[in-house]
Structures are given as C-alpha cells and as structure tokens.
Amino acid sequence: MFENLKSRLEQGKLKAMADTRLGQEFKSIFDVGGVPAYNQFYNFGIFVWKDLYKGVYTPWHIIPVYTLNGKHSRELFRMNIPKMICSEMAGIVWGDKCSIKVNRPGFTPTDEKPIDELQLFVEDVLKKNGFYSHMQDATEKALALGGEALKVWYEEPNERREGGIKIGYCNADQFIPTAWTNSTITEGVFISRIAKGGYYYTRLEWHKWDGLTYVVQNDLYRSESQDILGFRYPLSSIYPQLNERTEINGLERSLFSYFRVPNANNIDDDSPLGCSIYANALETLHGLDITYDSLIREFRLGKSRLIVPARSVKAFPDPVTGEMVRMFDLNDEAYEALATENADDLKPQMLSPSLRVNEHVDAINAQLKVLCDQIGFSSNALSFSQQNGIRTATEVISENSKTYKTVCNMQQAMIPALEQLIQNILDIAVLYDVDYNGMKITNEAEISVSFDDGIVQDRSTNINEGIQLTAAGLMSKKKFLTDTLHYTDAEAEAELKEIAEEQSIPAMTVDNLFGTTE
C-alpha cells in the first residue's frame, strides 16, 4: 500500500516538474528554437528516400483496384531497386581494404617496435566498436539518405567491464545540423526515440559551441503519439545516468563528423546535407516498379478469362436457405460482366490473351540503363533477365568506368570524416585520461586514411606508372610511397633511409661470399 502511494507521489512529482517546464506542445523538432527550418527537405526528401529504401512508399506502392465488388487497394509488386543499388555501391566502397594509420609525430618504426602503440590503441577501439562491419552498413544508409553522422563519446566501465570509448552511427533522419562553415558541420542535434509505458519519448542531444566551450545538452520530450514531438519532460525520469548539460573545455573540434554523398544538393541550395544517390532518379524508380508490377501481373491477368452476361452476376435467393447468393465471385478478376441486348453477346466467351514477357523485360532493361546514368553507375552495370532477375556487372569495373569514378568520389568524401573520427577518439581518450597498456594517450598524431583500390583497379598498373614517373624524375620517391603504397610520412622516410643504407653496402661477389681472394 505504502509502495503504491509512494509511486503515485513520485509520478505526481515528475508530472509537476514537467508542467513547470513544458509550456507549449511541439508538433515536430522543427518547431523547437535553434533548429533550422528544414522540414520540407526532410518531409519531401529524406523521409521519402527512407521509405523507398525500406521498400514501401505509400503514394507509389498502394494503388486502387476496381473489381465487380467495387474499389479496393493493393500493394504494387516492386523490385526494391533503391536498397539493391545502395547495397551494391557500399559493398564496392568497402570491398577494398580501408587503411587507417596513426603515428605520434617523430615516430620511427624499428624492428622492436614496427607499429606505434597509438596505432594499436586506435585499432583496439575500432575493433571493440565493430567499426568496419558497421561502416559498410552506415555507408549503405548514407547513400540512401544522403549522409551519415559519426559520434564519439565515453562511458564509464560497469561491473561487467563494459564501457570505454563508443562510436555512434547516426542516419541522416536522426541528425539535424544547426551550424556549419561551407560544407563542414560544426553543431547539430541528434534524435533518438523510445516507447515506454504507452508513451513515446524523444531525446534531443545538442552539440554546440559557447565560445571556446563545447556544450552537450540533453532535452527529453514525451507524447502519446509517435507523429508529434510532444511536451518537455524531466530527463532523469528516463535517462537517470545522463546530465542535462555538460561543458567541455580544451577541445578544438566537434565530437562528431558528418560525411555526405558527393553529389551537389540541387533540392536545397542552403543545406549542408547531401542528397540520396537516387534523389534525381525517382521517376525512373517509379517507372521500374510499375513495369515490374505489370510483368508479374501479366501471368495473373493474362490467364484465360470468361466473359459472362451481367445478369449472371446478380444475386438471387437460395431456394433452401433464402440467402442471397451469386454464381460468380465478385472479387475474382477472372470474370468480366457484359451488359448488352445482343443475344449472341450474352453467351459466355473465353479469352486467352498472349503473354508479353519479352516486351516487359526489354522495357525494364531500357529503364535500368537510364537509372545507371542517373545514379553514377556504368550503363551496363545493371541488367534484368527472366532467368536471373537483376544482375550486376561490377566485375568489369575499370579505371575509366563511370562506376569506378563514383566509388572513388565516395571514398574521397568519406576520408575527412573518418580522419576526424580518429582524431575525436584521441581527443576523448585524452579528455578522460584513458590508459592503454600503461601508455598515456596523446591527441597529437599523424592520421592517414586511404582505400586500397586493388579490386576495382589494376594495382600493378598504378605501381608501374609510379616507377616510370620516379625514374623520369617527375615524382619523388616519398610521394610514390605515400600516394601509391599508402605509407605515412614517417614510414616513407624510414623506408627511404633503409633503402639508402642498403644501396651504400658494397656488392657481394662470389669470391667474397666463399671467403677467397685473388
């Protein structure tokens, strides 16, 4: 009894606290002060791209159907092309090995210590966060929604030794930028939602600068509907471990990074956000679903049909039960009713139309070629056949292909965000005095991120070109090592020093080798 009374008093206290802070009810996050008015870009851009990526966009895929029993609706048969092309492109981007190298300034590899311990620390953090597997998923969703935010924070280890530096992967629909310089986003708000006890709770995590102080602020909202943001609510009631406001001094950069699809945003010129890889191919995607739906239904609607007199589908009373019955199922599309005064036309007639499979396959392939041009694939990258369905031709990617150039552009767009992610990991480690095998972590480091394009491009071709350029004096050996073989500056200098030492040793002769002299 007393426990129930205590619980009611606590709930009343929370409600009273909420009421003193609430004020108006917010319909969406874009009604909250400090959030740019991007609701049109999200409602008619990001949210539409997300529905297409998930497979069902109601205005396209729920269509009316008319039968003898009236108007109904059904789902359009669809190819789920948006998901497929994003998955295909992400697989190519991350199918090549991403190399992340971190060295303290002045570090020189030796036989005893070939790798800087700072590199081992970063690799350990990435491994614990499942970085490489998560990044392929994040890239796929970024291609669908236009971008992805990477957030870094620290959690105190619990009794199960869980905690440490964490990496968050936030989709474009879960992040709204609030400040930026050119295309670099410096402030933003992260959105997360949970359902509990019949209510929807939305947490807004603000990352912003107050002069030289970095501020992380958490606000909580509660609503009975998932379609609105609702009223302000005490943060501690749902997230007792979180502070409403945390101020951090000594940072030089935001604790998140954002990478966008490397296509110009032609939907909102003022937005730093990117557009989906298929943002300018929506009509083609819609046409493909319509054509594919027609192909699938060709086998259903192309079956034999029976034309019957209209009076045959009328209801009449059953002589035994008295219930009204019909001779035909009104929801069956196989029957067509014909009303006419011509006695010959009133006879049931069988129709057996021919199937137009080849015409549909040709139409789908024609639209796939258009789609490839619109999304940055080579024209022959996607094809459709009756036997194999959608096929990809990624194995024929070459240096001059459109697909290769799109992949390279995507990788280059990701590199600055990945480099800042690594820097943020080091900043958090310094901020919370993280220890790694007794070594004090420093955030002063040389960071290099590169993609080994050996799968989509002939690696030996690049090496041979580099050898020719260095031999002709048109490229330095250090640049060849850093650009082509992806060495860091320290590694390149150490390698060149070792090469010079080897070349200074006199050549061994056969007589020297066996200890004989002339």
Query: What pLDDT, in 10s, does the model give residues 66-107?
Result: 877 788 899 999 999 999 999 999 988 887 678 899 988 888
Among 190, 401, 116, 403, residue whose Cα is nearest residue 277 = 403
Give the pLDDT confidence score for residue 234 in this predicted structure.
94
Query: What is the DSSP pairing of strand 335-338 with strand 305-309?
Result: parallel
Give the pLDDT confidence score for residue 367 in this predicted structure.
94
pLDDT, greater one: 210 or 330: 210
pLDDT, greater one: 146 or 515: 146
Percent of the chain residues past pLDDT 70, beyond the cut? 78
Q: Mean pLDDT, the chain, as a whole number?
A: 82
Give the pLDDT confidence score for residue 2 in this predicted structure.
37
Give the pLDDT mean for 403-411.
89
Residues 173/47, Cβ–Cβ less than 8 Å = yes
Burial class for 510, CB neighbours closer than 10 Å (0-12, 13-18, 19+): exposed
Residue 518: which pLDDT band, with cuts at 50, 70 and 90? very low
Q: Which residues contact 433 (CB under 8 A, 6 or more apart)?
A: 440
426-484: pLDDT as tens digits? 999 999 998 888 888 888 999 999 887 654 445 566 677 778 888 888 888 888 888 77
Residues 478/492, Cβ–Cβ less than 8 Å = yes
Among 177, 165, 238, 87, residue whose Cα is nearest residue 443 = 165
Q: Comparing 85-89, 331-335, 379-383, 464-468, which segment has the lowest mean pLDDT?
A: 331-335
For 3-40, letters b (16+ CB in 10 Å) and e give: eeeeeeeeeeeeeeebeeebeeebeebbebeebeebbe
Residue 158: which pLDDT band, with cuts at 50, 70 and 90? confident
Residues 255/214, Cβ–Cβ less than 8 Å = yes
- pLDDT of residue 306 exceeding 80, the answer is no
User: Partners of 191 in the beta sheet?
Assistant: 204
CB atoms closer than 10 angstroms to residue 2? 6
Give the pLDDT confidence score for residue 61 in this predicted structure.
94
CB atoms closer than 10 angstroms to residue 402? 17
Please report the DSSP string for 272-327 in residue order.
Answer: -----TTTT-HHHHHHHHHHHHHHHHHHHHTS-EEEEEGGGGS-EE-TTT--EE-S
Tokens of 275: 């557009």
Residues 470/480, Cβ–Cβ less than 8 Å = yes
Give the pLDDT mean for 286-309.
79
Tokens of 505: 């040793």
- pLDDT of residue 133 exceeding 90, the answer is no
Q: Which residues contact 355 (CB under 8 A, 6 or more apart)?
A: 298, 299, 302
Give the pLDDT confidence score for residue 461 in this predicted structure.
61
Residues 121/464, Cβ–Cβ less than 8 Å = no
Give the pLDDT confidence score for residue 310 in this predicted structure.
56
For 423-445, letters b (16+ CB in 10 Å) and e give: bbbbbbbbbeebeeeeeebebeb
- pLDDT of residue 53 exceeding 90, the answer is yes
Give the pLDDT confidence score for residue 21 in this predicted structure.
45
353-371: pLDDT as tens digits? 677 888 889 999 999 999 9
Helix (H) or strand (E) holding 58: helix 58-61
> What is the C-alpha to C-alpha distance for residues 479 and 469, in angstroms, rounded to an integer?
11
